[in-house]
Structure formats: structure tokens, C-alpha cells
Amino acid sequence: MKSGKYVLLVLVLAFSLGISGCLQQAPQQEKTPTTSPPVVVETTPRETTPPATTPEVTTTPPPATTPEQKPLEYGGVINIGYTGPLSGIAQPYGEAVFAGLSFAAEDINDAGGIVLGEKYYKLKVVGLDDMYLPSAAAQNAEKLFKEKNTPIVFCSHSGGILEIEKINEKYGFIVGAFTTDPRVLKTGDKMIVMYPPNFELIYVPHLSDYFLARGATKAAMLNGTHEYAVAWGAAFKEYWKLKGGEIVAEVPLDYYLTTDYTDAVAKALAKKPDVILLAGPSKPVAGIIKTARMMGYTGGFIVAEQAKLEEIMYYLGIKYDFAKNTVIEGNISLIKKVVGTTAPCSIALTPIAAVDPNTPGYIEACKRFSARLGDTPITWEHVLSYQALFVIAKAMEKAGTTNATKIMEALEKETFPADGYKGFPKFIYSAMFRIYPYGTIGAFNTPGNMMSIDENGVATFSPGLTPKFWGQEYAYTDSEGKIIWG
């Protein structure tokens, strides 16, 4: 027990110097072809302007060597596709995913690139703006594959991913799915990598159970009207009622257009709920919480994982020392009795860091990102996307090709454990699963995390959350069909 405290002390002292400046700042937000798409050297500018922090990839990289120190021939650039909101109100979120991927490509390149056969290659992330529109996402994905020969196209919203899944197997490219929406796993797609946790199995039950265990029964729903929030709300409603709770109000609102929350909050409070569900970005969630408190609401809030509690604190003017679990500035009563999720850099500053096996990866990621992002907070969008591209790069090396089918096979059978790859100490992912009975391949075994703030304003972290099944007719299996989660 004493040794754990000494480990924690060292972590907190060393790590807080490196990343404390990143916290409490303004937040973001037919059949598969059997031949591989050719690898090409990219010499033209990318189609959209990337985040200012994203560097261009050079076409004259330093030489790489084999373990025998024999020079390898430079093969060119492998393009990695990305489509997401790079403009409009969802731009911060879309840019965070884009930046995480771009930082990964930069660091992989700095570590010598990836080796395929007798040549080594550099990675370049090519991003296109889809303005959060599903149809535009599918058009962008097709364009990226046809014009840039991308073996994988990442997308950061469920609506877009579902549209891309209608075409990706026909063309032969992988969908890198940044979403927690389980619907993307129910399509039977054999070329998808969903890398965040599944909200239906992790966040809906774990966050709901926090208040159910404390006697809450009456819930009001103030979730957003965007596709993800609607799906989250539907799952929450089903789970809450299954566990004996009652939905006393349903007041959906457009989180991206609404600025005055008074009417919506009043409708919900009129039903005297014990807890209110909020599903949307951090800034409007903060506005709804503040409005409800000003109107006299003293109950709890369940905050879906699209928002992060420390970002909400920022928008509410609250500064919180996660290492000491104390309020530095602001009115903590605004956010008492709230449960939601948090960001990796906050977790790494807390006592739980001493026992969370993923802490070395959080620390390394936050260290690598802090200088690049400046005042921009480091989010799961950054960290999960960064780690995902590292894992994809290793799978390419194991496959020895950019052929999507071969990469997927390598992800299942040859890539994990990935710890230590290209100098990154600890990956949050350790396996690729299939989804039964749909035959979908696949999803990483990503754990979730939870942060609660109790009635006294004390924050408690719960990392490593694994799925809770509550009647789902699907399961996660290995490549041989053995049920791992289900």
C-alpha cells in the first residue's frame, strides 16, 4: 500500500508539471477486391486546410534501416483518409480527431515510418470536411479512396460511418470508426475498426447505475436531436425503465442551434425529476446545467460521453485540482451530483493513476500533445485516434501490404500486444473482436471511464469500465467464434 502511494506521488509531481497547463482550458470538440491499392507518393497539397498544429509530411524522409542495419529504399507515402466536421459548430470535435491522427503519422514517420517488404514508407493523413453530413462523409470517403488510394478512411460521426459502410467493402477500404454508437457494429461490415467504447454496453448502464444505486427513479431526458444523441437517449430510456425507473419528461433540443435553454429546462423541471439526462457537446451541456441550477434544480445529471466533465467545469468557471481533489476557483455547487466521463490527462493526475494499467499511455500521450496543442485541451478524440493509427500502422507492417483484407487479418491475429511499438509504452487497445451474430469485423476492446462528483463536490474516477450486457442479442467474439464479451 505504501509503495502505491510513493508511485502516485512521483506521478503527480512529475506529470502535473508537464500537463497542468492543458487542463481547464477552452475545449474543443459486391466483394472486397483481392488486390492492394497502389502506394503512391503524395506531392500535391491536401484538399482542406488541416488544423494549424498539423505539420505536412516531407517527401524526403531520413533513411530507415533493418535490424541488420541494411539501408532500405524509400517507397513513398501511404495516404490515410479522414472525413469529419472541419468547419461549423462541430469543427473543434472534428479537428481533435484529425489532429490525433496527424500527430500519430508525424511520430510514426519520425520513428522511421513503416516497413513493407524491402521498402519503408511515410504516412500522411489527408482530411476532407464533411460538415457533419452523412452523405458528404460517404462522398469524401469514396473520393479519398479513388484519388488517394487510402487503405483506411477514418470518420468521426455515426451517421457518416453508417453511410460509408454502404460502400467501403465494395471498394476495398477499412472504415476507422470514431464513434461509441453500436449501430455501426450491426451492419455485417468486414472492414470496420470501431475504436472508442460502445455506449450501449458501457456508458448507458454504468452512468445510469450510479444514480439508480442512490435511489433515483424519475428521469427527465434533455438529450440532443443529432443522430448520436437520439440513439443514446433511446438506449437510456430502455435501460432506465428496465431497471424500474420512470421517464417523466422527454424534451429533445438542438444542441447546435439552441442558445436559450429556459423553456426546455422548465418543461423538464415541471415533472420533478430526480435526475436529468444530457447528451451533446460540453458547451451547451454546461449551459443547460447552469440554467437548471438557476431555476432551483438540486437533483442530478447524467452526462453522455460526448461531453467531458472538466470541459463543462471550464465553461462554468470552475477550476479543479484533480491531484488534490479540491476546488481552486468557482462555484462547485453547479456541478454537484453529476456523473459522466473525463479526459485522459485528468485521470493521470488522480490517485487512481497508480493502479490503472493504462496510465503510462495517458502520460506519454499527454506529454507528446501538450506542446503541440498549447491551450487546447487534450481529449479522448486526440488520444484514441492517435493510438488507433499506431495500431493500424503495426498491422500494415505485419500484413506487409496496404491491402485492406490483409490488414484486417493482421489486426485480429498478429498485431496485439502492441505495447512498445514505435516507442509508445502502453496502448489502451489489446484485441480486435468480431460481433456475433452480425459477422461484423470489428471493434477494439476499449474500456470506458467514469467520473462522478458527489453532493459534497468531491470527484471520484472509475477507469477500466467493461461492458454490461442487459438483454442485447449480440456478443463480442474472437476470430474463432469464442465469446469474449456477451
pLDDT tens across 201-239, in order?
999 999 999 999 999 999 999 999 998 999 999 999 999
Predicted pLDDT at 243: 98
346 confidence band (pLDDT: 50, 70, 90) = confident
Q: Which of 181-190, 204-213, 368-377, 407-416 has the lowest mean pLDDT?
A: 368-377
User: Quick check: 463 and 449 in contact, CB under 8 A?
Assistant: yes
Report percent pLDDT > 70 for the chain.
Answer: 86
Q: What is the mean pLDDT of the chain?
A: 87
> Could you identify the residue written with the cell 435501460?
239
pLDDT tens across 254-290, in order?
998 899 999 999 999 999 999 999 999 889 999 999 9
pLDDT tens across 409-459, in order?
999 999 999 999 999 999 999 999 999 999 999 999 999 999 999 999 999
Q: Indicate the pTM of the whole model.
A: 0.84
Predicted pLDDT at 68: 55
Residue 61 pLDDT more than 80?
no
Predicted pLDDT at 20: 38
What is the mean predicted confidence (pLDDT) over 286-300?
98
Task: Report the side by side order of strands in the sheet with 114-116.
Answer: 114-116, 119-129, 73-84, 152-155, 174-177, 192-194, 440-444, 432-436, 475-477, 483-485
Cell representation of residue 408: 484486417
| CB atoms inside a 10 Å sphere around CB 483 | 11
Residue 144 pLDDT more than 60?
yes
DSSP-assigned states of every residue in 135-200: HHHHHHHHHHHHHH--SEEEE-SHHHHHHHTTTHHHHT-EEEE----GGGGSS--SSEEE-S--TT
DSSP-assigned states of every residue in 198-226: -TTTTHHHHHHHHHHTTT--EEEE--BSS
**Secondary structure letter of residue 20 according to DSSP:** G
Rounded distance between C-alpha atoms, residue 30 and residue 47, angstroms: 29
- Rounded to whole angstroms, what are the CA distances from 215 to 85, 127, 218, 315, 456? 40, 47, 10, 29, 17
DSSP-assigned states of every residue in 288-318: HHHHHHHTT--SEEEE-TTS-HHHHHHHTT-
* Full set of structural domains in the chain with CATH: 73-198+379-444 (3.40.50.2300), 203-304+306-340+448-472 (3.40.50.2300)
Predicted pLDDT at 88: 85
In terms of Cα–Cα distance, which of 286, 302, 287, 282 is closest to 451? 302
Query: Within 13 A of 374's CA, how many CA atoms are on the CB side?
Result: 6
- Residue 339's Cα: distance from chain center in Å? 18
Give the 3-state secondary structure of residue 122. Answer: strand
Residue 339 pLDDT more than 60?
yes
What is the mean predicted confidence (pLDDT) over 369-385?
91
What is the mean predicted confidence (pLDDT) over 345-374?
86
Predicted pLDDT at 52: 36
Predicted pLDDT at 377: 81
Residue of higher predicted confidence among 476 and 41: 476
> Could you identify the residue written with the cell 524509400?
74
Q: What is the bridge-based pairing of β-strands 448-453 and 459-465?
A: antiparallel
Predicted pLDDT at 45: 31
472 confidence band (pLDDT: 50, 70, 90) = very high
The amino acid sitting at 267 is K
- Rounded to whole angstroms, what are the CA distances from 378 to 12, 295, 408, 461? 17, 33, 29, 18
Rounded distance between C-alpha atoms, residue 184 and residue 241, angstroms: 25
Predicted pLDDT at 51: 41
User: Quick check: 307 and 282 in contact, CB under 8 A?
Assistant: yes
- Rounded to whole angstroms, what are the CA distances from 334 to 53, 286, 288, 296? 34, 9, 11, 11
187 confidence band (pLDDT: 50, 70, 90) = very high
Predicted pLDDT at 25: 36
Rounded distance between C-alpha atoms, residue 345 and residue 130, angstroms: 29
Residue 39 pLDDT more than 50?
no
Rounded distance between C-alpha atoms, residue 211 and residue 208, angstroms: 6
Predicted pLDDT at 69: 60
Q: Which of 22-36, 68-82, 162-176, 439-453 has the lowest mean pLDDT?
A: 22-36
What is the mean predicted confidence (pLDDT) over 389-401?
99
Give the 3-state secondary structure of residue 387. Answer: helix
